[in-house]
Amino acid sequence: MLNTTPAPGDGTGPTGPPVVVWDLGNVLIPWERTGALLAAVGDPDEAERLAEEVFTLEVNALLDAGASMREVLAVVERDHPGTGWAVEAYVEHFGHSLGPVIDGSAEILAELNSAGVRCVGLSNWSAVTFEGIPQAYPALSGLEGIVISGEVGVTKPDREIFLHCQRRFGFEAHQAVFIDDSPANVAAAVQLGWQALLFEDPERLRRDLGALGLPGLTPTDPPPDARSRS
């Protein structure tokens, strides 16, 4: 879904050489935290309970923001005494929270690479669990580099991580084309003058990037509702 400062489909695209900024989780790599918890406890119902009550999205956000395991365990034990083991189990079995690379997204990344478009990563991800991920997912080699929130100490949608990304990779706000599955993150990027796309699926992303004039992309068929109006 287009969510940009220029009107969608106006053909203007980004001003200057574009830099496509990719989120990772659920854009290039599927992620679901219950997978790691299920690998730890072996019971789907118990894994769901732990995800809802103990290793919540809020707890995961602490890891993403760079909090130490000691700090996170202290928070969890304060709120749910005796359950800190679930956090340790999640980290130990983290690989089970991830799926195979999202092929359609990886294909788009490869096509942009072939066209000479700069592509970088910007992800809310714990520095602890990110270790080994680039090696496990060769498609990430198509990214010039990746800003990881757990290494920076701040997460999206905080504006500082977007500014950090600009500084690290040396581009201006008007050059950015940001792809993320979080509406809050997309809105924050737009506030900073980035063009931003809300990721829904690779087919929609391909159309949206094409509407912005990004080079090198193989055209895709229009959605059925568009064909019916032609």
Quote the percentage of the chain above a pLDDT of 70: 89
CB 161 within 8 A of CB 61: no
| For residue 219, pLDDT beyond 90 | no
Rounded to whole angstroms, how far apart are CA atoms 4 and 191? 10
pLDDT tens per residue across span 10-41: 334 445 799 999 999 999 999 999 999 999 99
DSSP code for 7: P
Check whether residue 134 and residue 225 sit in a common domain.
yes
Buried b / exposed e over 25-59, threshold 16 CB at 10 Å, is: bbbbbebebbbbbbbbbeeeeebeebbeebbbeeb
Of 66, 131, 59, the C-alpha closest to 95 is 131
CA-based nearest residue to 32, from 76, 87, 95: 95
| pLDDT, the chain, mean | 92
For residues 191-207, average pLDDT: 98
Q: Out of 79, 97, 115, pick the residue that ends a domain.
A: 97
Q: Do 44 and 38 meet the contact criterion of CB atoms below 8 Å apart?
A: yes
Which has the higher per-residue pLDDT, 4 or 42?
A: 42
24 and 38 assigned to the same domain: no
Instruction: Name the residue range of residue 105's domain.
Output: 2-29+101-229
Can you give the pLDDT at residue 4? 55
Looking at residue 7, its pLDDT comes to 37
Has residue 115 got a pLDDT over 50?
yes
Confidence of residue 122 (pLDDT cuts 50, 70, 90): very high
pLDDT at 13: 45
Structural domain ending residue among the three candidates 71, 97, 123: 97
Provide the pLDDT for residue 230: 44
Quick one: average pLDDT of 83-105? 97
Are both 108 and 142 inside the same structural domain? yes
Give yes or no: residues 116 and 11 share one domain.
yes
9, pLDDT greater than 50: no
Q: What is the pLDDT of residues 127-169, one digit of tens each?
A: 999 999 999 999 999 999 999 999 999 999 999 999 999 999 9
Looking at the fold, whether 71 and 12 belong to one and the same domain comes out as no
- CATH number where 225 lies: 3.40.50.1000
pTM summary value: 0.89
